[in-house]
Amino acid sequence: MKRLSRFIIPILVLIVGIVGFCFLFFVSTQRFRLSPEFIGAAGQPGEITHSSIAEIEDLAAEEKSFLVFVSQPDCVTADVFRAVITEFLGDHHLKILEINFSDIRGHTLAPGLKFYPSFLIFRSGELTGFLRADSNTDVEAYSSRDAFEKWLAGYVYF
């Protein structure tokens, strides 16, 4: 009996650990749907609507799930990426918010956001993912419609 317990307890601990890890992994990577107001009419192209930090704060407070394109007027760096998003929206009737980098930089809603252009994914009011202009792994998502769709599909059902 004593010898048996020497094996059973570590095995139980191991099983609980594995199950816990799997649960946390599943929860953290679970895809989700956007809040209904950010899904447009079927058959219609999606759209980018300019927003404000106050509106995004409100949406986060209401625990909405939504997408934000971070750009900046008077600058061409965001324009190539804007074209990629616009092409994507031709096939997906989503409503994407747009905000100036100068309005959101340093804000607690987007910790770690250092550069624009970027694309933020909010799930239930929390930032769950964003594109980094200084990361080699995100270059494709910035540059091609298909790669952008693939990246976004890792988080969102559409």
Partner 1 sequence: MEAQTQSHKLTLSSVVSALFGITLIILGIACLVVGLKDDSSVAELPALPAPALAEGLRGEQFGIDANIDETTIDNYLDRGDSVYRDMRMLKDPGNYEAIGGDSYLSGFVEGFEVVPYPYLVNVSGLPDAVGSTYTGPTLFTEKNSKYTANYVESMQILEDLFPKDKKIFLMCGGGGYAGMTKNMLISLGWNAENIYNVGGYWFYEGAHDVPVKVENNGKTNYHFWKVPYHSIDFNTLTKL
158 lies in the binding site for partner 1 (CB under 8 A) = no
What is d(CA 145, CA 89) in angstroms, rounded to the nearest whole number?
A: 9
- Region of 5-13, 72-80, 121-129, 148-156 interacting with partner 1 (CB under 8 A): 72-80
- Name residues contacting partner 1, limited to 2-61 (CB under 8 A): 48, 50-52
Task: Tell me if 31 sits within 8 A of 154, measured CB to CB.
Answer: yes
What is d(CA 118, CA 54) in angstroms, rounded to the nearest whole number?
A: 19
Q: Of 115, 127, 130, 149, which lies in the binding site for partner 1, with binding defined by CB under 8 A?
A: 115
- Region of 34-42, 59-67, 70-78, 122-130 interacting with partner 1 (CB under 8 A): 70-78
Residues near 80 by beta carbon (within 8 Å), at least 6 away in sequence: 142, 143
Amino acid code (one letter) for 151: W
Report the interface residues with partner 1, using CB under 8 A.
48, 50-52, 71-83, 86, 98-103, 105, 114-117, 132-136, 138-139, 142-143
